[in-house]
């Protein structure tokens, strides 16, 4: 499978962040575990649109969640041009020191990816899981963690547009701050009142479209 490269060169108006939550899990972990196996094996799956945002929600649990959140606003005059990319990785257990994880060798690790239009979450973009790769968390000054990610992600289109989504190779380095599960915003991993709370950072209750989340 051909892999597309993921650029890390974001515009000055874009925003991205890494963070680590200890004593945590992904709310949809059981669903992730089942879907990841099916997608990596090349099987057809359904219901991916429901996970584009909710699949990144974080709850209390026995492990560590490493998360990356990125938002690109697009051109200022177009309110529906914003786009998000999110990566959420669940690692069983947690450590106060460095961590090194190889996907496929460490049981229970799930690396979930989604991207799409912030105005049309679940109806655009791609959803996928890493089939192989490595995750390294090191120590840094001020309690931060250094992050090195190398992932090969199998992606699917939640709308069934197979030509839009394929294999993706992700190589990133950065620094992650430590956060508690209780401190997370809907953009970061708490459940929002509206999908747009989770697809746009820092809305503070201002919803750009009328959308009721049942």
Cβ(198)–Cβ(53) below 8 Å: yes
Q: What is the pLDDT of residue 212?
A: 43
First to last CA, the chain: 38
Residue 206 covered by a domain = no
Domain hosting residue 52, numbered range: 3-199
Contacts of 11 (CB under 8 A, 6+ apart): 72
Cβ(18)–Cβ(147) below 8 Å: yes
Cβ(177)–Cβ(20) below 8 Å: yes
Q: What is the pLDDT of residue 210?
A: 41
Q: What is the pLDDT of residue 49?
A: 85
From residue 174, give the alpha-carbon distance in Å to each of 70, 122, 178. 13, 28, 13
Provide the whole-model pTM. Answer: 0.86
Q: What is the pLDDT of residue 214?
A: 42
Nearest Cα residue to 119 out of 49, 15, 7, 198: 198
CA distance 158 to 37: 17
CA distance 20 to 15: 17
Q: Which residue has the tokens 């009142």?
A: 193
Residue 16 covered by a domain = yes
CA distance 35 to 114: 13
Residue 65 covered by a domain = yes
Helix (H, G, I), strand (E, B) or coil at 66: strand
Residue 204 covered by a domain = no
Residue 208 covered by a domain = no
Q: What is the pLDDT of residue 213?
A: 42
Q: What is the pLDDT of residue 143?
A: 79
For each of the chain's 214 residues, which pLDDT tens digit applies? Answer: 445 544 333 333 578 999 999 999 999 999 999 999 888 888 888 888 889 999 999 999 999 999 999 998 866 545 567 899 999 999 999 888 899 999 976 789 999 999 998 888 877 789 999 999 999 999 988 879 999 999 999 999 988 777 789 899 999 999 999 999 999 999 999 999 988 899 998 764 444 444 444 4
Residue 116 covered by a domain = yes
Residue 214 covered by a domain = no
Cβ(45)–Cβ(156) below 8 Å: yes
Report the number of distinct structural domains present in the chain: 1
Q: What is the pLDDT of residue 13?
A: 58
Residue 34 covered by a domain = yes
Q: What is the pLDDT of residue 174?
A: 94
């Amino acid at each position: 499978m051909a892999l597309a490269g993921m650029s890390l060169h974001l515009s000055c108006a874009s925003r991205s962040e890494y963070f680590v939550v200890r004593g945590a899990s992904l709310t949809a972990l059981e669903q992730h575990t089942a879907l990841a196996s099916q997608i990596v094996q090349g099987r057809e799956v359904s219901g991916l649109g429901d996970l584009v945002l909710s699949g990144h929600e974080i709850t209390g649990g026995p492990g560590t969640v490493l998360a990356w959140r990125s938002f690109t606003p697009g051109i200022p005059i177009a309110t529906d041009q914003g786009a998000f990319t999110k990566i959420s990785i669940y690692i069983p257990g947690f450590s106060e020191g460095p961590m090194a994880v190889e996907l496929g060798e460490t049981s229970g690790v799930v690396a979930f990816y989604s991207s799409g239009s912030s105005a049309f979450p679940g109806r655009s973009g791609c959803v996928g899981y890493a089939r192989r790769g490595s995750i390294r968390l090191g120590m840094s000054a001020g309690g931060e963690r250094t992050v090195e990610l190398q992932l090969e992600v199998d992606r699917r289109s939640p709308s069934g547009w197979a030509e839009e989504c394929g294999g993706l190779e992700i190589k990133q380095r950065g620094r992650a701050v430590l956060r508690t599960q209780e401190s997370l915003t809907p953009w970061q991993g708490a459940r929002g009142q509206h999908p747009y709370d989770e697809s746009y950072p820092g809305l503070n209750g201002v919803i750009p479209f009328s959308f009721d989340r049942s």
